[in-house]
Amino acid sequence: MTTEAQFNELIQSDKEIIVKFYADWCPDCRFVEPFLPELEANYPEFTFYYVDRDKFIDTCAEWDIFGIPSFLVFKEGNEISRFVSKDRKTKEEIEQFLTDSLNK
């Protein structure tokens, strides 16, 4: 994904998608990287996408993403759930977020 138009088209999906906002320089983003493939495999109901915060700064501001890594769930253009904070996220916290998001 290289443009905001592509992002806006992506979130219009009729499937539930998870957008992870990250930055290459972010140590907390690097912390979650090793276990994300396992989480993606364990939650096939979602399609996962990754958005570089530095390349989409206006999009982040529009969606109130001020801490990374942050996760938003979208379906048909609507935000269903979010896990946004400046704190480091553990595997267990992300799993709980994903589980809770399935029930919304």
Catalytic residue ranges: 26, 29
> What order of strands is seen across the sheet that includes strand 47-52?
47-52, 17-22, 70-75, 78-83
Q: Are strands 70-75 and 17-22 parallel, antiparallel or unpaired?
A: antiparallel
DSSP category for residue 81: E
